Amino acid sequence: MKRITWLSPADAPDWFPDPESALDEPPGLLAAGGDLAPHRLLAAYRRGIFPWYSPGQPVLWWAPDPREVLFPAEFRRSRSLDKAMRNRGVSVTFDCDFTAVIDACAAPRDTAGGTWITPEMRAAYVALHALGYAHSVEAWRDGTLIGGLYGVALGGIFFGESMFARERDASKIALATLVGTCAARDIHLIDCQLASAHLRSLGSRPVPRREFAACLVRFGTTGRPKHWT
Mean pLDDT (whole number) for 111-132? 87
Give, in order, the Cα–Cα distances in Å from 150 to each of 31, 34, 138: 24, 23, 9
Q: Rounded to the nearest 5°, which phi and psi values hold at 131?
A: -85, -10
Residue 114 has pLDDT above 60, yes or no: no
Q: Residue 172: which residues within 8 A CB-CB, separation 6 or more? A: 81, 84, 165, 202
Look up the CATH number of the domain holding residue 23. 3.30.70.3550
Mean pLDDT (whole number) for 99-111? 88
Look up the CATH number of the domain holding residue 160. 3.40.630.70
Among 14, 49, 64, residue at a domain's last position: 64
pLDDT tens track for 48-94: 999 999 999 999 999 999 999 999 999 999 999 999 898 889 999 99
Provide the mean pLDDT of the chain. Answer: 94
Low-confidence winner among 119-128, 166-175, 217-226 (lowest mean pLDDT): 217-226
55, 40 Cβ separation under 8 angstroms: no
Residue 148 has what pLDDT?
98
Mean pLDDT (whole number) for 202-218? 98
pLDDT tens track for 136-168: 999 999 999 999 999 999 999 999 999 999 999
Residue 37 has what pLDDT?
95
Total-model pTM: 0.95
DSSP 206-221: EE-HHHHHHHHHHH-S
Could you tell me if 25 and 48 lie in one domain? yes
Task: List the domain range (segments joined by +) for residue 54.
Answer: 5-64
Rounded Cα distance between 90 and 141, Å, is: 5
Please count the helices (runs of H) and the strands (runs of E) in the chain. Answer: 7, 11
